[in-house]
Chains A and B, each alone.
Chain A
Amino acid sequence: MWQRRAFLQAAGAGFAASLLPRQALALDASELVFASAVQTANGSYGAVLLGEAGELIASIALPDRGHDVTISRAAGRGVVFARQPGTFAVVFDPAGNAAPVTLTSSAGRHFFGHGVFSPDGRLLYATESDFEAARGVVGIYDATDGYRRMGEFPTYGTGPHEMLLMPDGVSLVVANGGIETHPDYGRAELNIETMDPSVVFIDRRDGTLLGQLRLAAGLHQLSIRHMAIDARSRVWFGCQYKGAPSESPQLVGHASMDGEIALIELPAETLVDLRNYVGSVAASTDGATIAISSPQGDLLVVIDAAAGRPRLVQTLRSGCGLAADGDGFVASSGLGEMIGLAGAKRTPQRYDFQFDNHLLRVG
């Protein structure tokens, strides 16, 4: 199903031209396993689809820098979202039977780089900004009707970032980073003094707020950004601290639909090396371990989810992308490396493109 046979013909000349004959052979022989936004060697932006052994299966040209990718088997489509405050999302067919289609955010909205499909693949949800009102929204797109924007509901906060579908298939969890931005001012952060981050659970059927969780008031400059769900349906989150650089607050925690939210205690030396920044969070295949990354600190940390304690720390220059891989994880870097982590049997590889912040394992 995830073989990408006709991708070569369908995806356009720019993409086809990027494939060498040997890679075209790989296209026929392997299965799509990983996807990531990238910057190519010539400075242009795109997304790559990789096979199990890390071989390049296909690449998709993007008009500007992308961020995260989501793929739905049911929809037979993947989507690369523009990095905030971008206004495009590119829908592609991993099977290669249809040419990529570029969506544009509606007037007064921009994307935040993340989104998810409904379990049946009929709806696509994207985190977006209603930037005049400094209000986060979830844009709803009809995947059965050319990704027509059907409407939106609020994220009940400002600066929503990653959004995941909970295992119940109905609830969305959104990390409201709490930071106000406006396209008139690029990526400038406009409300660092008064930011108000939260984790929210939303019923995707009608946008009802199921629960909103905040950390202690003294941690209001701890922007909650990225998440993964463990075996107990707890949402692990990683934060970026926007307060004084001399402070090192805890950066990783978990929240649940039962209303619990807590930070775990990482050792002081690990926190210092994370540089007040977590760029990506992933859960292992069995949901028993969580990996987090800090490209600013060149650090990867694997955490035992049940114990809430780190099991492993490893360095990777500019390492950020994380995905489950075998018994462990695979990590990708802004310098074009891909390595195995915490028991994953994988030979380190180096590419001529640079991975963006997130690496998706196609389920």
Chain B
Amino acid sequence: MRALLTIATMVLGAGVAQGQMPEQTAWAPVTPKAVLAAAVAEVIRPNILQLDEASGGLDRAMEALCAMPSADSLAIASDQFGQVVRAYGAIAFLRLGPLLEDNRADRLLFWPDRRSIGLKQVQAILATEDASATELASLQGKSVAVQGLGALEFVLFGTGAEALSAEEGAFRCRYGQTIAANIAAMAGELTHDWYRPDGIASHLQTPQPDYSDYRTETEALEALVGLVSHGLEALRDKHLLAFMARDNAAARPKLAVFWRSDLTMAYARANIKDMRKLVAASGVARAVSEKQQGLENTIDFEFRNAIRALDLITLPVAAAVADDKQAAALSYLVLVTGSLQSIIGEQLSAALGLSVGFSALDGD
């Protein structure tokens, strides 16, 4: 804890270390039913819709780029890509039901790609002008690594992407357009699944003993808390630690997700921001006994610390890891996500009477 506070002081200034707690509000317990209802209505469904809309826009922008290639239309498509990355960051931690069907999570973003399998496969498609990658159905039958955001990032920002603004990039563009259509199709499927009557949303909100997914409110709450706890772990392990300097090893910024498009930290920000939103809007940290009421403030305090650290990381990731202050902010972000994971996965779970975080939900 002392190390964490020291870094917090260094990175964020004395204000945080001295504990500028959020304003206290009157404590009122929330029922599990209300927590589950709000989680779906106020965060999950709106965020899924946001991805649906953003990916629809990307699909149209890619279509326009291919029809009339130019620097302007490439800029529009690239900007729209950024919106989809942010929108995906806001739902990537919703790893239950629809996102896990049909390998959708991996098909939307195959990451980490430790041995650059996806990169090699995408480069091979571009080098051979593999026509089957420009038909939606056949693209969907290919490796998960060539049909999602990672592949499209290489198309739009990787070596040779400048060809997209002219006719010579026609194949590359068609491949990118097909990926965008695939992402939009998956976003549509996610929307359909989350809005389907008697689907996962109603099962999560109103569990029943004969449901195959959520039988009790306790199980549904475990799933909800597990999303945030595991989401924080995934952010730290897959999207932060992987590229940061550690022990005697130098930083490896090219192992950062979305480094080519400089969206690494935008993705992380969307992730953190919407996990915070899920906790806050659902009121899950208020579904505890009065004696545990401080948890809500503790959790939000740590989320705000994480966001303040993100505010300090303004450079592209390759430059950020070489800048003392921004590298320290990254280190602090790792610490604070670990702290949050422990508070949510252990303290909040225990306060809710759940078993998340030990033998039940993090498997082995």
Contacts and interface: CB of A to CB of B under 8 A. Distances in A.
Question: Do A and B form a real pair?
Answer: yes
A318 B114 contact: no
A192 B106 contact: yes
Contact of B364 (A83, A186, A188, A335): A83
Given A188-B234, A317-B355, A296 B363 contact: yes
Interface residues of A, number: 40
B358 A39 contact: yes
Interface stretch (B12-20, B77-85, B94-102): B94-102
Contacts of A317: 355
Contact of B359 (A185, A186, A193, A295): A295
Nearest to A333: B359
Contacts of A185: 112, 114, 237-238, 241-242
Interface in A250-278: 272, 277
B346 interface: yes
B255 to A, nearest CB: 8
B360 interface: yes
Contact of A334 (B97, B238, B255, B358): B358
Contacts of B236: 186
Given A185-B238, A190-B112, A190-B114, A245 B360 contact: no
Interface string A297-335: 000000000000000000001101100000000000111
A233 interface: no
A184 interface: yes
A80 B100 CA distance: 34
A317 B360 CA distance: 9
Interface string B320-355: 000000000000000000000000001000000001
Interface residues of B, number: 30
A272 B237 contact: no
A113 interface: yes
B361 A296 contact: yes
Contacts of A333: 359
Nearest to B193: A246
A355 interface: yes
Contacts, number: 89
Given A245-B100, A245-B213, A318 B358 contact: yes
Contacts of B241: 184-186
A277 B361 CA distance: 10
A84 B363 CA distance: 11
A244 B100 contact: yes
Interface string A211-245: 00000000000000100000000000000100111
A184 B114 contact: yes
A356 B363 CA distance: 10
A129 interface: no
Interface string B141-170: 001100000000000000000000000000
B212 interface: yes
Contact of B237 (A188, A245, A318): A188
Interface in B53-73: none
Contacts of A272: 212
Contacts of A193: 103, 106, 143-144
B135 interface: no
A310 to B, nearest CB: 18
6 contacts: A84-B364, A184-B255, A188-B238, A190-B114, A193-B103, A244-B102
Interface of B: 96-97, 100-103, 106, 112, 114, 143-144, 212-213, 233-234, 236-238, 241-242, 255, 346, 355, 358-364
Given A184-B114, A188-B234, A244-B102, 5 more contacts: A184-B112, A193-B103, A193-B143, A295-B355, A320-B360
